[in-house]
Amino acid sequence: MSGQVAVEDFEAMWASLAPIGRAGDGGYYRLAWSEADLACREWFRRQANSRGMVVDEDVNGNLWAWWGGPGPNAVVTGSHLDSVPGGGAFDGPLGVIAGFAALDRLARSYTIPPRPVAVVSFSDEEGGRFGVACAGSRLMTGQVAPEKLLRRADAGNVTMADAMRSSGLDPNRCGEDPQRVADISVFVELHIEQGRCLADVGAPVGVASAVWPHGRWRYDFEGQGDHAGTTRLADRRDPLIPLAEMILATRREAERADALATVGRVEVHPGATNAIAGRASAWLDARAPSAGTVRKVLDAVTSTATEKCHRHLVELTSAEESWSDGAEFSVPLLERIAGCVAAVLGDAPRLATGAGHDAAILAARVPTAMLFVRNPSGTSHDPRESATIEDCLSGVDALTAVIADFLEDSELSGPRL
């Protein structure tokens, strides 16, 4: 590790990552295993190599940069580098860059850390290409069967197995990685906040208390294509009518249940102005503080879609693409890291979030915590997502203090946390 740094190195890391996968409107397209994603992976390797860290790609394509070499009782930080289509610059990369920056600071105090430390970049966190969120961390922790994931296809009919293969990974080796998980004594993910809680209370950094359960479902509406200028309304089997009703039901049921539910993606075939569509698909994303509430919204939306399809002679099929249980983070652990943050920045608010994270997947297996950095507008999954450099550096200060606290704890082990 080099031992220098701070603002210049932090900004240099951003500057070298920023052009990768950025479209003309500033939105990022870093879908898993795409060319842009592979370039981000190369960027990660360069960052690690420039610090003399050992880079290790696990069987699920997650990238690990080790300070002090891989080994047991490791302190791990990091996040992800992939994005949703048209995403912002900070969702994911902030946690990876802050991880490297925190270790740069710690390298001023340690030539060799007292226990292994890693920065990880989990593969395919967003599920923007194959529909399943947190694929890399789920596979690693054995929370999804590889067969289920690997056969999923993207919009161009490329399966996840093929995408991995063409990136040099052997999909037959994917799956649970118990030794790697057992070696993690604590995982701390730093992430941009994806709402306005910190902005509202005027705090640069907060600590996560919980991640809501959430899921994604696909609805396929099969109707009958026909001529827009000659087919009588009574004779139509237009799949877009029940699809539109399903979108309205999504909003209505979310309001009723005090949940969040969204249809952010539809596909219409063939998509001609002067033709009734033959088929259409819509994807529902639903989230709430409890799994029961999410299921209630889902059931109500499906029931409306079914009834409207029946009325318009449209065939409906629906399927779950992704389910995330959510997590309640360990209170002693989150209070411990809140104490570290308070020592450098003052009181850190605790907040629950509806956004999904690898940390929520890891929390089911290892002691896990999260830090959030203020996002002034609260906007995320959009090019307007932002954080000031001052707040990002406050995040690095907080993360450095948290990692230092774990490095100094000679009794660090799962049960105590």
Q: According to CB under 6 A, which residues from 20 to 49 bind ligand GLV? A: none
Out of 240, 355, 360, 366, point to the residue binding ligand GLV (CB under 6 A).
Answer: 355
Task: At 107, give phi and psi (nearest 5°).
Answer: -65, -10
155-184 residues in contact with ligand GLV (CB under 6 A) are none
Question: Which CB, 133 or 392, lies closer to ligand GLV?
Answer: 133
Identify the CA nearest to 379 among candidates 10, 104, 90: 90
Beta-ladder partners of 261 = 286
Q: How far is the CB of 189 from Mn ion (least distance, A)?
A: 9
Burial per residue of 240-263, b for 16 or more beta-carbon CB atoms within 10 angstroms, e otherwise: bbbbbbbbebbeebbeebebebeb
**Bridge partner residues of 208 (DSSP):** 351
End-to-end CA distance of the chain: 28
Q: Evaluate whether 330 touches 291 at the Cβ level (below 8 Å).
A: no
Task: Report, in Å, the least distance between residue 190 CB and Mn ion.
Answer: 11
Residue 204: which of ligand GLV, Mn ion, none does it interact with, CB under 5 to 8 A by kind?
Answer: none
The continuous run of DSSP H or E covering 304 comes out as helix 291-311
Closest approach of Mn ion to the CB of residue 83, in Å: 7
Closest CB 146 distance from ligand GLV, rounded Å: 21
Q: Which is nearer to ligand GLV, 126 or 177 (CB)?
A: 126
Return the one option of Mn ion, ligand GLV, none that residue 92 interacts with (CB less than 5 to 8 A, by type).
Answer: Mn ion
Residue nearest ligand GLV (C-beta atom): 356
Instruction: Report the partner that residue 356 touches, choosing among ligand GLV, Mn ion, none (CB closer than 5 to 8 A by kind).
Output: ligand GLV
Which CB, 124 or 245, lies closer to ligand GLV? 124
Which of 49, 115, 42, 119 is CA-nearest to residue 78? 119
CB of 137 to Mn ion, least distance (A): 11
Range 191-210 burial, b when 16+ CB lie within 10 A, else e: bbbbbebbbeeebbbbbbbb
Number of residues that bind ligand GLV (CB under 6 A): 4
From CA 24, how far away is CA 38, in angstroms rounded?
20
Please, which residue, 133 or 280, has the CB nearer to ligand GLV? 133
**Residues near Mn ion, by CB under 5 A:** 91-92
Angle between helices 389-407 and 93-106 (to 10 degrees): 60
Instruction: Choose among ligand GLV, Mn ion, none what residue 133 binds, the Cβ cut-off being 5 to 8 Å by kind.
Output: ligand GLV
Residue number, 124 or 154, with CB nearest to Mn ion? 124
Between 110 and 283, CB nearer to ligand GLV? 283
Residue 171 contact, options ligand GLV, Mn ion, none, Cβ 5-8 Å cut-off depending on partner type: none
CB-nearer residue toward ligand GLV: 123 or 400: 123
CA-CA distance, 368 to 362, in Å (whole number)? 7
Helices 7-17 & 389-407, crossing angle to 10 degrees?
110
Binding letters toward ligand GLV, positions 115-144, x by CB under 6 A: -----------x------x-----------
Question: What are the phi and psi torsion angles at 280 (to 5°)?
Answer: -155, 155
> Between residues 204 and 213, which has the closer beta carbon with respect to ligand GLV?
213
Nearer to ligand GLV, 106 or 361 (CB): 361
**Per rule CB under 6 A, is residue 361 in the interface with ligand GLV?**
no
Contacts of 385 (CB under 8 A, 6+ apart): 87, 88, 89, 90, 91, 192, 194, 375, 379
Distance, CA of 241 to CA of 253 (rounded, Å): 18
User: Interface with ligand GLV includes 356 (CB under 6 A)?
Assistant: yes
Distance CA 40, CA 19 (A): 10
Cα separation, 141 vs 179, in Å, equals: 10
Q: Nearest distance from residue 127's CB to ligand GLV, in Å? A: 7
Which of the choices Mn ion, ligand GLV, none does residue 385 contact, using the CB cut-off of 5 to 8 A by kind? none
CB 207, min distance to Mn ion, A: 17
Query: Structure tokens of 21?
Result: 């996968």
Q: How far is the CB of 284 from ligand GLV (least distance, A)?
A: 13
CA-based nearest residue to 62, from 166, 142, 137, 130: 137
Q: Which is nearer to ligand GLV, 133 or 404 (CB)?
A: 133
Residues contributing to the site for ligand GLV (CB under 6 A): 126, 133, 355-356
